[in-house]
C-alpha cells in the first residue's frame, strides 16, 4: 500500500504541478460527500476504499457532463466533418487521472481528498484498466482518442471482470439501439436485392466521455453491446423449444462478450467475423442516421443527397478488422438507399481510408468464402461484384497480365477460397497508410509518421520549468531542451528525476511483487507482447551471456543491471508461453547465484498493461526495441520510452528509424541487420547452426538452455525452443547476436558515465517532437480526411453544484 504523504511531500507535489484549480476544494469535498451518501448509499463508518474511489470518480465525472453536452451542441451547430475511427480495440487504461489532468482538477482533488483524510493515489489504484486491447494497435487507438479526438469513435465492447463493480464513466444509450442482421439469404426482386430470413441481434451503445486537454471539448467513444431482441427465437418455440430459445439468447449476446486475445495473429473464427460485422453494421447505421439528422443535412422535405456524405464523414479503418465497412456501406447505399452502383462506389471510396498495421503474413485477415456465404451472403455478393469490376479495370490496364490479376484479386483461390481483407481495404479506400515510414515504404505507400500520446506517460519526467507547460500541447517545444544539454544543473535535474522514478518503481515492485531490486543498477526494460518477431529470445541470450561473463570474471567492474521483461502471451501461442517460462527460469538461476549478487537481476513482469506501462516506462534507463528489421510496423512503446528519458537499444525497424533520425543516430544504440541485409540473408538462406558453431559464447548459452541448466528439474523443457532457434527461426535471432552483444557492451560502458548518459537522454527527449499523437492526428486530418486540424476551445460550462 502507498504510504500516506507527509505535508512536505504534498507541498512538493503542489509546487511541481502548480496551484491552478485549488480554489474548487470546498465544492469538491461537498460533492464527494454527496456522492458517497446519495450515489453509493454509504456513510464513512462503512465505506470501503472502493466506495471512496467511486465517490471521487463521480465527483470528477460531474465536471465532464456540462462539457460533454456542450460539445455535442457545438458540433450540431457547426456541423463539421466528423471522423469515425473504427477499431475492434481501444486500449484505454484508467480514466480518473487522465480526466483530472485534462480538466485541470488534479491539484484540487488531491487537496480535497487530503482534507478528507484520504490518499488520492491509493484511490486511483483501485480503478481497473479498461483493457479493450492487446498491444500497440489498440493502444494507438486509445492514444489517438485521448490525444485530440474529433468526435464519435465506435467499437465492439467489453469483456473481462473489468466491469465487475460497474463502470462510472460510461452511459448506456438504449434509445439508439440498432438491429444487426446475420445469416439468411439473398432475394432478387423487382424492387432490388433483399437480404431476408436473417437473425437479428440488437446493438446497444455505451458512450464514454473522452475529454480533450483543457479545451472544454469532450468527445465520445461509443462501444456496442449485443442484446437479444425480446422475441428472439421465441416465435417458433414449442414446449421443449422455450428453454432452448432462452439459452440461445445468451449465445446471441456472446458477440460482444470477449475480445480475441491475439496480437498480430489472425484466428479465423466465426464469432470474430460476427464481432467485426456487428461493430461495422451498428456504426454505419449510426453514421447515416446522424448524417440525415444533421442541421444542414436533409429534412423530410428535402431529399437527402448522399453524394455529400464524404464531405461530412470520414471513416478510418484501424487495420482490416473493420473492413466490412466497405461492403456494408455499399449495401446500405445500393440496396436500402437505392443509389446506383457507380455512384455508391465513389461515395464509399471517398469516405473510407485504411491504416495497415503489420506485414506479418500470419496476421493478415483472409476469411474463407464459405463462412461469408453462410453468415453474410449479401456481403459476399457485393465483394464479388467489387472484385469483378476491379479485375476488369486491371486487365484493361495490363492486358494479358494474368499473374498480376491473380496477385491483386480480392479472392484467393486454393483448397479453401478466401477473401483477402487487406486487398478489399486498399481497393475501397482513397488513402492507405502504414504506421511508420519504413513500414509505409514496405507496403509501398505514402509515409505518415508515428504516434505517441504525450500526456499519458509524461507525468513525471519533464516538470522542469525550463520550457514551460507548452510542451504538453506542442512537443516540438522539446527541441528547446537542446539549449540546456551542456548545463550541469539541468543535467543533474534530469538525472535526479529519473532516479526518483526508479526508486518509486522499486518500491512498487517490492510492495506488489515482493522483489527487491537495486535502484542504482541500470533498469534494462523490454515490455511488449511476447512474440517471436519481437525477439525476447535475443534478450535472453544477452542475459545468459552476461551471466556467464560475470561467472568467469567475478572480480571485474561489471555495470549492474536489472533486466525486466514483461508482456502477455496470447493463450493459444505455445512458443510465446515457453519464452515466458524461459525468462522466469533464467531468473531463478541468475537471481539466486551468490557470485552474481545484485549485479544482475532478471525479473518477469506479469500482467503488463497500460497502468504498469505508465509506472515502468518513466523508470527505465534502457529500452529494448530489438525486432528483426522489417517486422515491426512501427511500435509505439519505443517512442514512449524515448520521451520518458530512456535510451534505446534497437534495430533499424519500425519507428526506431525515425527516432534515430530525430535524435541523431549517435544518440541511440543501433545494431544488427537492416531490412536489405535481412532480405539478402533470406536469398542466401539463413543457417542458424553456422552461427552456433562459429560463436563460442552463443554456443555456450544455447547449450545451457538445451541441456537444462536453467530447468534442472525438467532438463528437456526448452528443447522445442532450441530446435526452433536452430532450425526454423523466421526471425533470425542468431544472425544479430554478436552485434547485439557488442552494442550492449557500449551501453554498459556509457552507463558508467552518468553525465554523458544523461546528455544522450536529453538529446533523445529533445528529438521527440515528431512523435506526438496531436501531430499524427493533424497529419491524418490534412492528408487523409481533407480537413484543417483545429486547436479550438469552447467555453467552459458552470461548475456542477
Ligand X SMILES: *Cc1c(COP(=O)(O)O)cnc(C)c1O
Single out the residue of 668, 679, 702 nearest to residue 629, CA to CA: 679
Q: How far is the CB of 679 from ligand X (least distance, A)?
A: 23
Span of 159-167, 276-284, 549-557, 632-640 interacting with ligand X by CB under 6 A? 632-640
Alpha carbons within 13 angstroms on the beta-carbon side of residue 164 total 8
In the complex with ligand X, the residue whose CB is nearer, 320 or 638, is 638
Q: How far is the CB of 636 from ligand X (least distance, A)?
A: 4
3-state secondary structure of 597: helix
Residues of span 120-159 touching ligand X by CB under 6 A: 135-136, 139
Per CB under 6 A, 610 contacts ligand X: yes
Q: How far is the CB of 479 from ligand X (least distance, A)?
A: 24
Span of 290-298, 334-342, 426-434, 630-638 interacting with ligand X by CB under 6 A? 630-638
Q: How far is the CB of 257 from ligand X (least distance, A)?
A: 22
Contact 542, 565 (CB under 8 A): no
Q: How far apart are CA 252 and CA 201, in angstroms?
A: 7
Q: Which three cell numbers stand for residue 696?
A: 563460442
Site string for ligand X, 501-540 (x = CB under 6 A): ---------------------------xx-----------
Q: How far is the CB of 646 from ligand X (least distance, A)?
A: 12
Single out the residue of 458, 395, 442 nearest to residue 641, CA to CA: 458
Span of 404-412, 539-547, 558-566, 607-615 interacting with ligand X by CB under 6 A? 607-615
By CB under 6 A, name the one of 565, 613, 698, 702 that touches ligand X.
Answer: 613
Span of 379-387, 595-603, 606-614, 696-704 interacting with ligand X by CB under 6 A? 606-614
In the complex with ligand X, the residue whose CB is nearer, 218 or 668, is 668
In the complex with ligand X, the residue whose CB is nearer, 419 or 629, is 629
Q: Parallel, antiparallel, or unpaired for β 622-625 and 411-412? A: unpaired
In the complex with ligand X, the residue whose CB is nearer, 130 or 223, is 130
Residues of span 81-100 touching ligand X by CB under 6 A: none
Extended strands (E) in 263-402: 313-318, 352-355, 366-368
Span of 575-583, 605-613, 684-692, 752-760 interacting with ligand X by CB under 6 A? 605-613
Residues of span 718-777 touching ligand X by CB under 6 A: none
Q: How far is the CB of 569 from ligand X (least distance, A)?
A: 13
Q: Which three cell numbers stand for residue 293?
A: 439528422
In 411-558, alpha helices (H): 421-427, 437-442, 454-457, 488-513, 536-552
Contact 353, 327 (CB under 8 A): no
- Residue number with the smallest Cβ distance to ligand X: 637
Cα-Cα-Cα-Cα torsion 392, 396, 397, 400, nearest 10 degrees, comes to 100
* Contact partners, residue 224, CB within 8 Å, separation at least 6: 154, 155, 156, 157, 203, 204, 205, 206, 256, 278, 279, 282, 283
Residue with cell 455535442: 72
In the complex with ligand X, the residue whose CB is nearer, 111 or 614, is 614
Span of 302-310, 464-472, 575-583, 608-616 interacting with ligand X by CB under 6 A? 608-616
The helix (run of H) or strand (run of E) holding residue 220 is: strand 218-227
Span of 443-451, 477-485, 633-641, 684-692 interacting with ligand X by CB under 6 A? 633-641
By CB under 6 A, name the one of 609, 732, 763, 775 that touches ligand X.
Answer: 609
Q: Which three cell numbers stand for residue 495?
A: 538525472
Residues of span 249-268 touching ligand X by CB under 6 A: none
3-state secondary structure of 185: strand
3-state secondary structure of 732: coil
Q: How far apart are CA 639 and CA 149, in angstroms?
A: 20
Q: Which long-range contacts (CB under 8 A, 24 or more apart) does 373-377 make?
A: 374/183, 375/182, 375/183, 375/270, 375/273, 375/274, 375/277, 376/182, 376/273, 376/277, 376/324, 377/183, 377/184, 377/185, 377/186, 377/195
Site string for ligand X, 331-370 (x = CB under 6 A): ----------------------------------------
Per CB under 6 A, 450 contacts ligand X: no
Contact 673, 681 (CB under 8 A): yes
- Residues written for the chain: 801
Q: How far is the CB of 136 from ligand X (least distance, A)?
A: 4
* Partner residues linked to 317 by β-bridges: 86, 354
In the complex with ligand X, the residue whose CB is nearer, 148 or 529, is 529
In the complex with ligand X, the residue whose CB is nearer, 527 or 705, is 527
3-state secondary structure of 77: helix
Exposure string (b/e) for 75-105, b if CB count within 10 Å is 16 or more? Answer: beeeeeebbbbbbbbbbbbbbbbbbbbbbbb
Q: How far is the CB of 650 from ligand X (least distance, A)?
A: 10
In the complex with ligand X, the residue whose CB is nearer, 286 or 319, is 319
* Contact partners, residue 582, CB within 8 Å, separation at least 6: 537, 540, 705, 710, 718, 721
Residues of span 636-655 touching ligand X by CB under 6 A: 636-637, 640
How many CB atoms within 10 Å of residue 563? 26
Span of 347-355, 629-637, 716-724, 786-794 interacting with ligand X by CB under 6 A? 629-637
Integer angstrom CA distances of residue 329 from 317, 641, 778, 787: 13, 40, 26, 22
Q: How far is the CB of 634 from ligand X (least distance, A)?
A: 7
Question: Residue count at the site for ligand X (CB under 6 A)?
Answer: 12
In the complex with ligand X, the residue whose CB is nearer, 502 or 568, is 568
Q: How far is the CB of 125 from ligand X (least distance, A)?
A: 17
Contact 141, 135 (CB under 8 A): no
In the complex with ligand X, the residue whose CB is nearer, 147 or 637, is 637
Contact 302, 295 (CB under 8 A): no
Q: Which three cell numbers stand for residue 137?
A: 494497435
Cα-Cα-Cα-Cα torsion 739, 743, 748, 754, nearest 10 degrees, comes to 180
The helix (run of H) or strand (run of E) holding residue 244 is: helix 241-253
Q: Parallel, antiparallel, or unpaired for β 199-211 and 218-227? A: antiparallel
Q: How far apart are CA 220 and CA 627, in angstroms?
A: 35
Q: How far is the CB of 542 from ligand X (least distance, A)?
A: 18
In the complex with ligand X, the residue whose CB is nearer, 567 or 767, is 567
Q: How far is the CB of 620 from ligand X (least distance, A)?
A: 12
What are the catalytic residues? 357, 528-529, 534, 636, 640
In the complex with ligand X, the residue whose CB is nearer, 109 or 777, is 777
Per CB under 6 A, 781 contacts ligand X: no
In the complex with ligand X, the residue whose CB is nearer, 131 or 769, is 131
Q: How far is the CB of 635 from ligand X (least distance, A)?
A: 4
Contacting residues toward ligand X, per CB under 6 A: 135-136, 139, 528-529, 609-610, 613, 635-637, 640
Amino acid at each position: 500500500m502507498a504510504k500516506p504523504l507527509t505535508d512536505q511531500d504534498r507541498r512538493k507535489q503542489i509546487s511541481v504541478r502548480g496551484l491552478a484549480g485549488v480554489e474548487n476544494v470546498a465544492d469538491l469535498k461537498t460533492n464527494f460527500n454527496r456522492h458517497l451518501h446519495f450515489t453509493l448509499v454509504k456513510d464513512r463508518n462503512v465505506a470501503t476504499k472502493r466506495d471512496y474511489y467511486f465517490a471521487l470518480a463521480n465527483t470528477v465525472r460531474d465536471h465532464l457532463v456540462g462539457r460533454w453536452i456542450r460539445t455535442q451542441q457545438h458540433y450540431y451547430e457547426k456541423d463539421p466533418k466528423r471522423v469515425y475511427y473504427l477499431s475492434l480495440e481501444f486500449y484505454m487504461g484508467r480514466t480518473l487521472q487522465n480526466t483530472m489532468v485534462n480538466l485541470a482538477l488534479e491539484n484540487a482533488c488531491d487537496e480535497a481528498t487530503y482534507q478528507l483524510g484520504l490518499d488520492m493515489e491509493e484511490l486511483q489504484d483501485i480503478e481497473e484498466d479498461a483493457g479493450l486491447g492487446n498491444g500497440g494497435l489498440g493502444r494507438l487507438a486509445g492514444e489517438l482518442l485521448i490525444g485530440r479526438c474529433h468526435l464519435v469513435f465506435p467499437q465492439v465492447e467489453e469483456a473481462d471482470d473489468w466491469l465487475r463493480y460497474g463502470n462510472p464513466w460510461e452511459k448506456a444509450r438504449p434509445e439508439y439501439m440498432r438491429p444487426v442482421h446475420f445469416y439468411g439469404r439473398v432475394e432478387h426482386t423487382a424492387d432490388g436485392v433483399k437480404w431476408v430470413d436473417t437473425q437479428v441481434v440488437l446493438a446497444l451503445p455505451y458512450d464514454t466521455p473522452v475529454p480533450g486537454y483543457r479545451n472544454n471539448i469532450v468527445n465520445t467513444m461509443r462501444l456496442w453491446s449485443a442484446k437479444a431482441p425480446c422475441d428472439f427465437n421465441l416465435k417458433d418455440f414449442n414446449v421443449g423449444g422455450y428453454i432452448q430459445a432462452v439459452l440461445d439468447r445468451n449465445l446471441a449476446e456472446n458477440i460482444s462478450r470477449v475480445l480475441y486475445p491475439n496480437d498480430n495473429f489472425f484466428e479465423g473464427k466465426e464469432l470474430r467475423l460476427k464481432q467485426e460485422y456487428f461493430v461495422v453494421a451498428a456504426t454505419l447505421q449510426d453514421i447515416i442516421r446522424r448524417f440525415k439528422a444533421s442541421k444542414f443535412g436533409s429534412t423530410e422535405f428535402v431529399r437527402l443527397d448522399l453524394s455529400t456524405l464524404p464531405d461530412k464523414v470520414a471513416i478510418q479503418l484501424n487495420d482490416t478488422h473493420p473492413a466490412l465497412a466497405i461492403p456494408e456501406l455499399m449495401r446500405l447505399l445500393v440496396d436500402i438507399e437505392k443509389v446506383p452502383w457507380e455512384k455508391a462506389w465513389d461515395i464509399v471510396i471517398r469516405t473510407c481510408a485504411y491504416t495497415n498495421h503489420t506485414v506479418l503474413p500470419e496476421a493478415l485477415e483472409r476469411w474463407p468464402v464459405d463462412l461469408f456465404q453462410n453468415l453474410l451472403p449479401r456481403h459476399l455478393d457485393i465483394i464479388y461484384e467489387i472484385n469483378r469490376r476491379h479485375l476488369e479495370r486491371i486487365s484493361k490496364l495490363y492486358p494479358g497480365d494474368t499473374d498480376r490479376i491473380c496477385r491483386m484479386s480480392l479472392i484467393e483461390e486454393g483448397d479453401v477460397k478466401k477473401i483477402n481483407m487487406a486487398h478489399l481495404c486498399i481497393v475501397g479506400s482513397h488513402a492507405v497508410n502504414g504506421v511508420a515510414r519504413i513500414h509505409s515504404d514496405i507496403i509501398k505507400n505514402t509515409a505518415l509518421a508515428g504516434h505517441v500520446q504525450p500526456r499519458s506517460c509524461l507525468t513525471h519526467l519533464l516538470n522542469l520549468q525550463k520550457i514551460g507547460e507548452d510542451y504538453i500541447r506542442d512537443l516540438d517545444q522539446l527541441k528547446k531542451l537542446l539549449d540546456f544539454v551542456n548545463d550541469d544543473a539541468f543535467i543533474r535535474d534530469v538525472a535526479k528525476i529519473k532516479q526518483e522514478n526508479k526508486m518509486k518503481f522499486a518500491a512498487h515492485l517490492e510492495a506488489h511483487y515482493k522483489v527487491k531490486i537495486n535502484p542504482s543498477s541500470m533498469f534494462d526494460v523490454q515490455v511488449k507482447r511476447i512474440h517471436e518477431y519481437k525477439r525476447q529470445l535475443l534478450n535472453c541470450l544477452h542475459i545468459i551471456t552476461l551471466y556467464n561473463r560475470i561467472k568467469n570474471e567475478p572480480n571485474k567492474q561489471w555495470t549492474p543491471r536489472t533486466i525486466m521483461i514483461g508482456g502477455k502471451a496470447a493463450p493459444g501461442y505455445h512458443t510465446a508461453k515457453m519464452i515466458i517460462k524461459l525468462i522466469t527460469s533464467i531468473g531463478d538461476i541468475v537471481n539466486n547465484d551468490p557470485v552474481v549478487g545484485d549485479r544482475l537481476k532478471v525479473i518477469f513482469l506479469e500482467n503488463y498493461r497500460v497502468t504498469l506501462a505508465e509506472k515502468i516506462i518513466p523508470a527505465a534507463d534502457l529500452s529494448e526495441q530489438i525486432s528483426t528489421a522489417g517486422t515491426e510496423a512501427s511500435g509505439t512503446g519505443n517512442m514512449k520510452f524515448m520521451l520518458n528519458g530512456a535510451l534505446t537499444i534497437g534495430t533499424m525497424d519500425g519507428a526506431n528509424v525515425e527516432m534515430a533520425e530525430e535524435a541523431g543516430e549517435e544518440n541511440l544504440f543501433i545494431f544488427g541487420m537492416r531490412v536489405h541485409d535481412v532480405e539478402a540473408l533470406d536469398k542466401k538462406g539463413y543457417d542458424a547452426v553456422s552461427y552456433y558453431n562459429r560463436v563460442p559464447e552463443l554456443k555456450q548459452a544455447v547449450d545451457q538452455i538445451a541441456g537444462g541448466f536453467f530447468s534442472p528439474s525438467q532438463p528437456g523443457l526448452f528443447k522445442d525452443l532450441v530446435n526452433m532457434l536452430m532450425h526454423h527461426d523466421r526471425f533470425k535471432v542468431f544472425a544479430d547476436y554478436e552485434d547485439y552483444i557488442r552494442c550492449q557492451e557500449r551501453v554498459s560502458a556509457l552507463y558508467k558515465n552518468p553525465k554523458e548518459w544523461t546528455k544522450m537522454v536529453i538529446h533523445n527527449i529533445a528529438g521527440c517532437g515528431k512523435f506526438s499523437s496531436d501531430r499524427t492526428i493533424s497529419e491524418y486530418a490534412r492528408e487523409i480526411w481533407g480537413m484543417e486540424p483545429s486547436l479550438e476551445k469552447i467555453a467552459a460550462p458552470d461548475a456542477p453544484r
